[in-house]
Amino acid sequence: MISPEWVEAGPLDWHNLVGTGPFMLTNYVDGSYAEYERNPNYRGTTIIDGKEYQTPLIDKLVYPLMVEDSVRLAALRTGKLDIWEDVPWVYEGTLAATSPELRSWYTSPFGAFRIGIRQDIGPPFDILEVRRAMAMAIDKQAIIDELYGGYGILVNYPFCANWGEEIYTPLEKMPKAVRELYDYKPEEAKRLLAEAGYADGFDAEVLIATVPIQTDIMSMVKAYWADIGIDLEIVAVDAVIQRAMTAKSGVGEQKEHKQMNFVLESAPEPGADITNSWLPWTLCNYSMCDDPHINAEFARWNTVMPQDETDALMKDLQVYIHGQVYDIFIPAAGVFVYAWPWVKHYEGEKMSGYLTSAPTHAIVWIDQDMKKEMGY
């Protein structure tokens, strides 16, 4: 639901933003920071030591807009940042050595990489055995070990591992046919290709963004696929161009990747993940799949049903989607959350709701006396 008054006022002007969250945007400097003040009329509360408090607990919230990791590191070390979420694993050792007082939490990535394989262009990509072979030929654990220093989770999309088993099925509890997709089995991959009529392999093309980690991952994938006879051409373009080429509904505008598209996909919440990625004519349906079972189950999910039935439906869909291999999921690196001890009522939480940290930040408070005692 959108207010017509807001549309008329100009939704692109931050001064006109409206909402019901815990904070109100009071200042925004492009490329510098966004500043918020507490919403005195916010409905939320939190309980600390048995006592209920109105939230937010802080009067002001500032999000500095820092592009370079070196700038963020300096700000964190000097206490200018109280919290830094999504800290790359490569800085763990450095921060432990230079700022041992910092608290830290390791957390799963917010999604995973995926190779969307178009299903609307015919063989070999519309053959399940071929897609299974392509998945089995990739040593996904080696990607975690060699590119992420061992920090990563094999299965983290379409649902994140930390969402709980009410909806997420861990790999060890998946059916054998799905577990095999995450084992490195090049000989089995060759056998599947031969059975599908592609004993000599085939040529393939994937579109990626000119981002170092994507280049590194796909270079490894190219080598793995070469071992089973797949000659992969990597087409690298700017990330903005890739998005423009692929994030199209297919209604009056066609996706422009020829065969496959490789992206880092976030996982905001179950319904959005399924809607955006596997329903016909949606922006992130890079495989262009039109699966009657997915379509029917999602339509059923949109009806009114008890929460446990909704969770069970989505849990089953996660397993089904993995088994169809419309996309090959590549692990993303795990990340760390860092906070100073003066950030109270906080245990490394990142998101609450749909892609927002505001409710989480509304229940923390800053012990100014401790911060001063620590020399900051």
What is the model's pLDDT at position 275?
80
Backbone angles phi, psi at 262, to 5 degrees: -115, 120
What is the model's pLDDT at position 65?
92
Give the separation between CA 234 and CA 232, rounded to whole angstroms.
6
What is the model's pLDDT at position 271?
77
Q: b/e per residue, 313-337, with b = 16+ CB within 10 A? A: bbbebbebbbebbbbbbbbbbbbbb
Q: Name the stretches of the chain with pLDDT < 70.
A: 1, 249-252, 268, 353-355
| H-helix segments, the chain | 4-9, 69-77, 92-98, 128-136, 140-147, 176-179, 186-195, 212-226, 239-246, 270-278, 292-301, 307-324, 358-362, 368-373
**Which single residue is written with the structure tokens 């093309």?**
205
Give the separation between CA 343 and CA 334, rounded to whole angstroms.
23
Residue ranges of domains in the chain: 4-108+334-373, 111-330
Cα–Cα nearest to 274, from 306, 301, 238, 247: 301
Backbone angles phi, psi at 60, to 5 degrees: -140, 145
Give CA separation, 207 vs 182, 213, 235, 256, 288, in Å.
22, 14, 5, 9, 15
What is the model's pLDDT at position 54?
95
Q: What single-letter amino acid sits at 222?
A: K
What is the model's pLDDT at position 12?
85
Could you say which DSSP state residue 124 is in? T
Q: Are the beta carbons of 101 and 341 closer than 8 angstroms?
A: yes
What is the model's pLDDT at position 232?
98
What is the model's pLDDT at position 324?
98
What is the model's pLDDT at position 249?
67
Cα–Cα nearest to 132, from 87, 177, 97, 94: 177
DSSP states along 353-367: SSS--HHHHHT-EE-
* SS3 state of residue 92: helix
- Six-digit token string for 184: 């490195």
Beta partners for residue 328, in sequence order: 115
Does the pTM surpass 0.95? The reply is: no
The torsion defined by the Cα of 363, 369, 370 and 371, in degrees rounded to 10, comes to 80
Architecture of domain 4-108+334-373: 3-Layer(aba) Sandwich (3.40)
Sequence-distant (≥ 6) Cβ neighbours of residue 239 within 8 angstroms? 209, 210, 211
Q: Are the beta carbons of 169 and 315 closer than 8 angstroms?
A: yes
Give the separation between CA 21 and CA 362, rounded to whole angstroms.
9
List the CATH code of the domain at 111-330.
Answer: 3.10.105.10
Please state, as a whole number, how many other Cβ atoms lie within 10 Å of the Cβ of residue 5.
Answer: 9
Give the separation between CA 276 and CA 282, rounded to whole angstroms.
5
What is the model's pLDDT at position 138?
98
HSE-CB at 65 with a 13 A cutoff on CA atoms is 9
Q: Are the beta carbons of 329 and 314 closer than 8 angstroms?
A: no
What is the model's pLDDT at position 75?
96
10 Å CB burial of residue 280 (0-12, 13-18, 19+) is middle
